Amino acid sequence: MFDFFQTLTLQFSWQDIVDIVLVAFIFYRLILLIRGTRAVSVIYGLFLLLVVYYCSGVFGLYTLHWVLGQFLGSIFLVIIILFQKDIRKALSAMGAGRFWKRTRVRPEVIDELILALLDMARSKTGALVVIERTTPLGDIIERGVEIGAVVSKDLLETIFYPDTPLHDGAVIIRNDRIMAAGCILPLAVGLKHRASLGTRHRAAMGITEESDAVALVVSEERGTISVAISGKITTSLEEVRLKRVLISALER
């Protein structure tokens, strides 16, 4: 009996422990990257295909089993094609040395930002603010007008005041500072059926599709505040919900 339990004893070296911890951490970071994105639906679809592939082999559906086998034989190429944006975002974050740490914005900066957005929503002043996280937005910042000032309610309202030279572009915030204003962002495509979304909303969705940034929009037509994360936009946010969504997004 003693010999039986002795054979069940697992022997771990320090290399095994390091290996397990690293793999677990990488999977954890990957889950954070795809959480709340379209990639989750794609993963569910691939999992369903694996189940169908296994069942077709068990029940002797040879043609279906062969077709799915040919498809799954190129699974790595399929994953690269389907997740090219997510892979690019992850590699960009790793190259910037910020893949391993979270981006945190000080509470007072969030409060200043929310106060500015609420004021501009009341006056129906259009605005677009992008908060950089792990994916660098240096190329977009370079095409704007350099500011380099601490985030403040008054400065944001001045930048987006109607008829000023910078009010049509986006403001980029990095590490609690307004890095640039008047920035031009990529537009999301395939939204023609959503007539309620203007250019600012499409730009907010576009930049969050290509990076892990958080984008905030004030609509000058309706006076509503929206938040875009991972290519998805949530509209008509009031103060309490806006603060909760913003804090949750920036602490992911």
State pLDDT tens for residues 166-189.
Answer: 988 999 998 889 999 999 999 887
Locate 152 and state its tokens: 């403040």
Do residues 197 and 110 lie in contact, with contact meaning Cβ atoms separated by under 8 Å? no
In the beta sheet, which residues pair with residue 57? none
Residue 83: what residue type?
Answer: F
Mean pLDDT confidence for 199-223:
92
Provide the pLDDT for residue 193.
46
Which range is most confident: 42-51, 71-80, 111-120?
111-120
Question: What average pLDDT score do residues 116-137 get?
Answer: 92
Edge-first strand order for the sheet with 170-174 is: 145-150, 177-183, 170-174, 127-131, 214-218, 225-229, 232-234
Q: Which domains does the chain have, with CATH numbers?
A: 2-82 (no CATH), 107-250 (3.40.1700.10)
Each residue's pLDDT tens digit, 1-43 = 545 445 545 677 888 888 888 888 877 777 766 665 556 667 7
